[in-house]
Amino acid sequence: MSSDSTLFSNRWLPVLLVAPMMLLIALFFYVPIFQAFYWSFFLERPFGGGSEFVGLDNFARVLADPEFWKAGWRTIIFMVTASSLAVLVPLILAVAADRKIRLSLPARNVLVWPKGVAGASIGVVFAFIFNPFVGILAPLNSIFPGIWAPGINGTDAFITLIAAHVWGGIPFNFVILLAGLQSIPRTMHQAAAMDGAGPWRRIFDVQLPLIMPQLFLTLVLEFTESVTSAFALIDTITNGGPGGATTLLVYKIYMDGFSGYDLSGASTQTAILMVFVIILTAAQFIFLGRRVNYER
Amino acid sequence: MVENARSLNIIASLILVVGMIYILGPLYLTLSTASQSYEFMLRNGLAWYPGDQFLANMASIFTETRIPIQMLNSMVVAFSNAAATCVLSFLSAYAIVYFRIRWAGVVFALILATIMLPLDIRVITTYQVASNIFSPLNAVLDATGLNGLIAGIFGTPVQLELSVLNTHFGLVAPLVAHGTGTFLFRQFFLTLPKDLFKAARMDGAGPTRFLFDILLPLSRTSFAALFVLTFLSGWTQYLWPLVGASTPDMQTAVVGLARLVPDSDGQVPDFPMIMAGAVIVSIIPLAMIALLQRYLVQGLVLSEK
Amino acid sequence: MNAIDTAIRAAAADIKLIGVTKAYDAQTVVIPPMDVELRAGEFTVVLGPSGCGKSTLLQMIAGLERVSDGKIMVGGREVQDLEPKRRGCAMVFQNYALYPHMTVFENMAYSLKVAGVRKAERAARVAAVARMLALSDYLTRKPGQLSGGQRQRVAIGRAIVREPNVLLFDEPLSNLDAQLRHDMRVELSELHRRIGATSIFVTHDQVEAMTLADRILILNKGRIEQFDTPKAIYHHPASVFVAKFIGAPPMNILPVTGDGSVLRLADGQIVAEARLTGSYQLGIRPEDIIVGIKADGHAVRAVLRFREDLGSHSVLAADLAGSVIRIATPFGADLINQPELFLNLPAARLHLFDAETGRATCRAFAAQ
């Protein structure tokens, strides 16, 4: 709102109103972020053993660790494959559900159900369903021994993670993209039909270009989401295995911090991951964001 | 429209069928396996059809695991998360939109930034803060030299300590420190006609009156949408409750369920019982989605705009 | 006629609707069976209140709605089962429906691109239309950067670039302000004269209808009330509905009874001589009433309620036999303080409608 005199002009009331939220956010968001960067310059001993300023030593140590680079690389691979699938699959479903067909209504209902299932719960379920001995692919294994072995084969484990991630990501992306499709005015379809474009062609010439803002938004959020939400899935499906093949950065940070008690290392990696996420988000806004906004 | 869209409609139907199988398949297999015995599962693998052991598996969840009490924790966490987020977000959005304050933009940006870096990324240091929520205060006192002064006068520096780990407050508070709710309410307030505010002021309504008589009644659906959204989010949290609660009796049901799966690779776990656990843990949020779907969808759409 | 005009001059087609019906179910019939014939190159305005089915009618011709029954013939070809693109129709939408992600050029060229027209020809045809509509300077802009009037032109350009046999307009001027609307009306008439496509223009605005149409088709609840030239519709309305719909202020309608020699108002005053018996509705346009301040001849007595001064003329409202009657009159300062008026209703200007059906009866006064 502009500087119109119609706004309330109390001095302390608004402070009081935002205070509780700001206090929580300061304490549990900004302090931890500050602390992660702060600690990355100190060598922190666990159990209150004091700390010592070490400059960039922590960064040197982390960056020299091949495990860090491997985890970082896996994070990027997971981010790109999982999040593009987690947008593409709901996109296809949304385009289908946008049509006036009988299955559209039940599908709109069913496709939001995963929102109610925790990542860890679906992880437990997928770990069972894709279990090589009793799961859905067990019969296949008895014919071709070893063809499905997420416990040994890193790729199989990765696929399981992605399948579970996409499953859990459907509701949000589906709802957003479908809402975008449904906000396209009916006359836009009619105009395109008058111009000679059939239903298939309209998907690519009209519908997809017009939901670019929604598509962009889901992709940006999905990138951040895939970096973090993977934790629950990894912890319940693969435990980072086999042989570290599914140890993404979030999982490595957790293991280093809570199992290895390497607080400085974990903080340093947290700081790096945060910078990465911020740069990535900013880059998406700069390179993609400008092109997708237009007045309707 | 007069046109032949049969090919497209048939393919769209097929896609939706596949999509629904993808979503419902795992849920069905969970349910059917939960109704079979351990021996059945060992012999046949996963169950394609339901058996008669459902109640038995449920019973063992209730008698042999902590999931019942953990369900209570989940309930407390999810409900408090939803209620606190709704109230605090509403108040801060109210201040940002309806008061003439110069710092409104800055505060809003500070709140909105929380969306970019989720809790899971900053879990290590959030844990440290939660282990002593006065640590920032202590650090400030140390850094500014005030503590030296205090030590000089009282003989000892101030070192306050309060851990919220392993408490319900500690499980909930970091979840509430999130900007989606404020964003949602702000967007909603901005869609309301400005004349509404002017008319209320002409009628002599002050901030409190305007809040209770006009804004609150109008925001009912936004509240419902945000409530459903944050309740589900609180219920399905994993990493934070995993580290924020150290005893099984404080953990949430989702964490408890994940702990049911043994870490060792020895024998095949008792999947039917675990699946029964998964059913119990997911039944409340799923029922919520079935009943309050309208608000959930609205919340998802609103949180985007 | 210059080169541009011949380049985009379309072959106009005549349109025949034979028993065309639109019904969603037995209860909700939007358009009962309708027969109508539009001549090739004619500009027809479909006029009616909202919900009268005029947009539905247009969309059925365009192929955006299915007909429930009946035939639509365009240029002698049965089209009711054809897809929109195969009917030779183009349409200008109420909210323009321009593609926001395409430039003005791309918007206009899209139909040609879909039809597989080669790039060079596309460019040439869009350029020709853009010149005609004064859009040449805006071809690289997106619709969001244009004013309302410019968007309107792009929407028209997109429609005519395909050289359609039939041009359909769905209330295209309703989003413009008054001045622009007037300018666009003039431009549209001009345009129609130049490209000559059979045009159907849907509106609820009688001024648009009167100024644009060769013939006006007035719809009421899906039925044709009258289909005639603007002049005929104004001077010889076929029903009370048409009489009240056209003209501002609308025609006055008064209940009268005939006793075989004269027509009397509800309060017994005689308004006209006529050899009619029974109940009728008598119509007279506000501007046809002659106002006097003294009783003479068949003048009827009315009581002035209020007057609105519109500058060029005044509109008086008066009580007459229990009804309110409106009179349009040139300035008459002497009337201001006169509560009692004597109104002369010239017999040649009276319209008589059936009391039950509201349809115009035979010219009862023509002989006099």
Q: Of B121, B261, B300, which is closest to A124 when you measure between CB atoms?
A: B261
- The encoded tokens of residue C129 equal 């239309």
Q: Say if A15 falls within a structural domain.
A: no
Chain A interface mutation, best of C58, C93, C151, C169, highest count of A Cβ atoms under 10 Å: C93
Identify whether B127 is part of a domain. no
Three-state secondary structure string covering B237-274: CCHHHHHHCCCCCCCCHHHHHHHHCCCCCCCCCCHHHH
Nearest to C104 by CA among C154, C147, C144, C149: C154
* B157 within a domain of the structure (yes/no): no
CB atoms within 10 A of CB C24: 9
Residues in a beta bridge with C263: C258, C272
Residues B59 and B69 in one domain: no
The confidence band for C365, taking pLDDT boundaries of 50, 70 and 90, is low
Residue C5 has pLDDT above 70, yes or no: no
Q: What are phi and psi of B269, to 5 degrees?
A: -65, 165
Between A191 and C299, the higher pLDDT residue: A191
Pair (C163, C262) in one structural domain? no
Tokens standing for residue A68: 């860090």
Q: Does any domain span residue C365?
A: no
Find chain A residues with C-beta within 8 A of C84's C-beta.
Answer: 190, 193-194, 196
Q: Smallest Cα–Cα separation from B86: which of A1, A20, A15, A31?
A: A20
Task: Summarize the confidence of residues C8-29 as an average pLDDT.
Answer: 83
Contact A194 C89 (CB under 8 A): yes
C67: nearest CA partner in chain B: B2
Q: Round to whole Å and give the CA distance between C141 and C133.
A: 15
Nearest to B1 among C64, C80, C81 (CB): C64
The pLDDT, as a whole number, for residue A289 is 62
- Please state whether the predicted TM-score (pTM) of the whole model is above 0.90: no
| Same domain as C235, residue C315 | no
CB contact under 8 A, A190 and C99: no
Q: Given this model, what pLDDT does residue A91 score? A: 96
Q: Please report the pLDDT score of residue B20 as a whole number.
A: 94
Same domain, C189 and C273: no
The verdict on B292 touching A (C-beta cutoff 8 Å) is no
C290-292/C340-344 β-pairing? antiparallel
Higher-pLDDT residue of C298 and C214 is C214
Regarding whether C252 and C203 lie in a shared domain, the answer is no
pLDDT of residue A46 exceeding 80: no
Same domain, C48 and C163: yes
Residue A151 located in a structural domain = yes
With an 8 Å Cβ cutoff, are C85 and A294 in contact? no
Q: What percent of chain B has pLDDT over 90?
A: 20
Q: Which stretches of chain C sit within 8 Å of chain A by CB? A: 59, 62-64, 83-85, 89-91, 93-95, 97-101, 110-111, 114-115, 142-144, 158, 162
Q: Report if residue B182 sits inside a domain.
A: yes
Q: What average pLDDT does range C280-287 have in this prediction?
A: 91
Q: Give the pLDDT confidence of A215-266 residue by residue, as tens digits.
A: 888 888 888 888 877 888 888 888 877 878 888 888 888 888 888 777 888 8
Residue A229: give its domain's CATH number: 1.10.3720.10
For residue C60, give how far its alpha carbon lies from the nearest alpha carbon of chain B (Å): 9
Alpha carbon of B185 to those of A121, A129, C130, C279: distances in Å? 31, 41, 46, 64
Q: How confident is the model at residue B214 (pLDDT cuts 50, 70, 90)?
A: confident
- B21 and B83 housed in the same domain: no
Q: Stretch A21-48: mean pLDDT, rounded?
A: 84
The backbone region for B7, taken as left when phi is positive above 0, alpha when psi lies in -120 to 50, beta otherwise, is alpha
Residue A210 lies in a domain: yes
Residue B33 is predicted with a pLDDT of 85
C84–A212 C-beta distance less than 8 A: no
Yes or no, beta carbons of A107 and B19 under 8 Å apart: yes
pLDDT score at C367: 41
Residues B55 and B198 in one domain: no
From the list B13, B122, B254, which residue is nearest A121 (CB)? B254
Mean pLDDT comparison of A157-166, B285-294, C323-332, highest-scoring range: A157-166
Both C41 and C165 in one domain: the answer is yes
- Which of A185, A198, A205 lies at the smallest CB-CB distance from C97? A185
Do B257 and B66 meet the contact criterion of CB atoms below 8 Å apart?
A: no
* Distance from chain centroid for Cα C227: 10
- Answer whether A296's CB lies under 8 Å from A206's CB: no
In a domain, A71, yes or no: yes
Domain for residue C348, yes or no?
A: yes
pLDDT per residue as tens digits for the range A174-207: 988 998 899 899 999 999 999 999 899 999 999 9
Contact at CB, B11 and A274, closer than 8 angstroms: no
Of C205, C239, C273, the residue that ends a domain is C239
At B236, the amino acid letter reads T
The answer to whether A116 contacts B177, with C-beta atoms less than 8 Å apart, is no
* Overall average pLDDT of the B127-144 stretch: 82
The answer to whether residue B126 is domain-embedded is: no
Q: Are residues C71 and C89 in the same domain?
A: yes
Cα separation, A83 vs A86, whole angstroms: 5
The pairs formed by B102-111 with CB atoms below 8 angstroms and a separation of 24 or more are B104/A14, B107/A18, B107/A22, B108/B182, B108/B186, B110/A22, B110/A25, B110/A30, B111/A21, B111/A22, B111/A25, B111/B179, B111/B182, B111/B183
Would an 8 Å CB–CB cutoff place C308 in contact with chain B? no
List, as ranges, residues 86-115 from B with C-beta within 8 Å of A: 88-89, 91-92, 94-101, 104, 107, 110-111, 113-114
In the predicted model, is pLDDT for residue C366 greater than 50? no
pLDDT for residue C169 is more than 50: yes
* Percent over 70 (pLDDT), chain C: 93
pLDDT digits (tens, 9 = 90+) for C34-61: 999 999 889 999 999 988 889 999 999 9
Last residue of a domain, one of C239, C267, C292: C239
pLDDT of residue B92: 94
B2/C82 Cβ within 8 A: yes
With beta carbons under 8 A apart, name residues in chain A contacting C141: none
Q: Are residues B100 and B172 in the same domain?
A: yes
- Specify whether B201 is located in the same domain as B116: yes
A157 domain-assigned: yes
Show Cβ contacts of residue B135 under 8 Å, excluding neighbours closer than 6 positions: B128, B129
For chains B and C, CB pairs below 8 A equal 17
Q: Which amino acid is at B35?
A: S
> Is A193 within 8 Å of C89 when comparing Cβ atoms?
no
B295: distance to nearest CA of chain A, Å? 12
Based on the fold, state whether residues C57 and C144 are members of the same structural domain: yes
Residue A120 lies in a domain: yes
Residues C33 and C98 in one domain: yes
Residue where a domain stops, chosen among C215, C239, C263: C239
The answer to whether residue C203 is domain-embedded is yes
Does the distance separating the beta carbons of A254 and B130 come in below 8 Å? no
- Is the predicted pLDDT of residue B84 greater than 90, yes or no? yes
* Distance to chain B for C64, nearest Cα, Å: 4
The chains found to touch B (3+ Cβ pairs under 8 angstroms) are A, C
Token pair listed for C339: 């509560």
Q: Which residue bears the tokens 């957790």?
A: A254
Closest residue on chain A to B112 (Cα) = A25
Domain boundaries, position B93: 65-121+164-302
CA nearest neighbour of B259 among A232, A21, A253, A105 = A232
CA B35 to chain centre: 29
Q: C249: exposed, middle or buried (C-beta count within 10 Å: 0-12, 13-18, 19+)?
A: middle
Q: How many structural domains compose chain B?
A: 2
CB B92 within 8 A of CB A17: yes
Compute CA distances A196 → A127, A202, B186, whole Å. 50, 10, 42
The CA-CA-CA angle for residues B198, B203, B205, to 5°, reads: 80
**Based on the domain organization, do B195 and B245 belong to the same domain?**
yes
Residues B40 and B82 in one domain: no
pLDDT of residue B304: 63
Spatial distance between the Cα atoms of A247 and A67, rounded to a whole number of angstroms: 9
Query: Does A134 have pLDDT greater than 80?
Result: no
Residue B146 lies in a domain: no
Q: Do residue C127 and residue C186 come from a single domain?
A: yes
**Residue A100 pLDDT more than 90?**
no
**Token couple for C351:** 């319209």
Q: What is the CATH number of the domain that holds B191?
A: 1.10.3720.10
Beta-ladder partners of C318 = C304, C325
Would strands C43-47 and C215-220 be described as parallel, antiparallel, or unpaired?
parallel
Q: Do C84 and B4 touch (CB under 8 A)?
A: no
Q: What is the pLDDT of residue C35?
A: 93
The residue with tokens 């990894």 is A234
Do C198 and C166 contact (CB within 8 A), yes or no? yes
Looking only at the bridges linking them, the beta strands covering C198-203 and C43-47 are parallel
Q: Are residues B180 and B83 in the same domain?
A: yes
pLDDT at B203 exceeding the cut of 60: yes
- Residue percentage of chain B with pLDDT more than 70: 98
Q: Higher-confidence residue: C363 or A112?
A: A112
pLDDT at C195: 84
Contact B129 A35 (CB under 8 A): yes
Q: Residue C341 in 3-state DSSP?
A: strand
Query: Chain B residues with CB inside 8 Å of C82's CB?
Result: 2
> Which residues does chain C have within 8 Å of residue A194's beta carbon, measured at their own beta carbons?
62, 64, 84-85, 89-91, 111
Q: Are C213 and C230 in contact (CB under 8 A)?
A: yes
HSE, CB side, 13 Å, CA atoms: give it for residue B76. Answer: 18
**CA-CA distances (angstroms) from residue A290 to A87, A88, B277, C139, C312?**
20, 21, 47, 21, 54
**What's the mean per-residue pLDDT of chain C?**
86
**Residue-wise DSSP of chain A:** --S-TTSB--SSHHHHHHHHHHHHHIIIIIHHHHHHHHHTTEEEPTTT--EEE-TTHHHHHHHH-HHHHHHHHHHHHHHHHHHHHHHHHHHHHHHHHTS--TTHHHHHHHTTGGGGS-HHHHHHHHHHHT-TTTSTTHHHHHHSTTSS-TTT-HHHHHHHHHHHHHHHHHHHHHHHHHHHHHTS-HHHHHHHHHTT--HHHHIIIIIHHHTHHHHHHHHHHHHHHHHHHHHHHIIIIITT-STTTT--HHHHHHIIIIIS--HHHHHHHHHHHHHHHHHHHHHHHHHTGGGG----
Claim to verify: residue B59 and residue B88 sit in the same structural domain: no
Residue C349 phi/psi, 5° resolution? -100, 5
Q: Is residue C363 part of a domain?
A: no
State ipTM.
Answer: 0.85
Q: Which residues of A touch B89 (CB under 8 A)?
A: 21
Q: Residue C210: pLDDT above 60? A: yes
Residue with more model confidence, B201 or C55: C55
Answer whether C111 sits within 8 Å of A206, measured CB to CB: no
Are B59 and B76 members of one domain? no
Domain count across chain C: 2
Assigned domain for C360 exists: no
Cross-strand partners of C188 = none
What distance in Å separates the CA atoms of residue B46 and residue C227, rounded to the nearest whole number?
74
Question: C2 pLDDT band (50/70/90 cuts)?
Answer: very low
Query: In this complex, which of A116, A124, A167 lies closest to B257 when CB atoms are compared?
Result: A124
Residues of B in contact with C22 (CB under 8 A): none
- Interface A-C, measured as beta-carbon pairs within 8 A, has a size of 70
Q: How distant is the Cα of B282 from the closest Cα of chain A, in angstroms?
A: 6
- Per-residue pLDDT band for C3 (boundaries 50, 70, 90) equals very low
Domain tally for chain A?
1
The order of strands in the sheet holding C351-354 is C270-273, C262-264, C252-259, C277-284, C351-354
Cα–Cα dist C116/A256, whole Å: 62
Range of the domain at A254: 67-292
Partners of chain A (3+ Cβ pairs below 8 A): B, C
* Whether B73 and B190 share a structural domain: yes
Q: Decide if C368 is inside a domain.
A: no
Same domain, yes or no, for C92 and C148? yes
Mean pLDDT of A56-85: 88
Q: Do B289 and A115 touch (CB under 8 A)?
A: yes
Residue A58 forms part of a structural domain: no
Shared-domain flag, residues B82 and B212: yes
| Mean pLDDT score of chain B | 85
Q: Check residues B159 and C279 and name the one with the higher pLDDT.
A: C279
- Residues C207, C59 share a domain: yes
**Is residue C362 assigned to a domain?**
no
Reading the block at residue C102, the tokens are 């395409």
Assigned domain for B156 exists: no
Whether C32 is covered by a domain: the verdict is: yes
Residue of C nearest to A197 (CA): C114
Out of C91, C100, C101, name the one closest to residue A194 (CB).
Answer: C91
- Could C62 and A194 be called an inter-chain contact, meaning their C-beta atoms sit closer than 8 Å? yes
CATH code at C338? 2.40.50.140
Percentage, residues of chain A above pLDDT 70: 93
Give yes or no for B180 touching A (CB within 8 A): no
User: What contacts C106, CB < 8 A, 6 or more positions away?
Assistant: C99
The parent domain of residue C305 ranges over 248-354
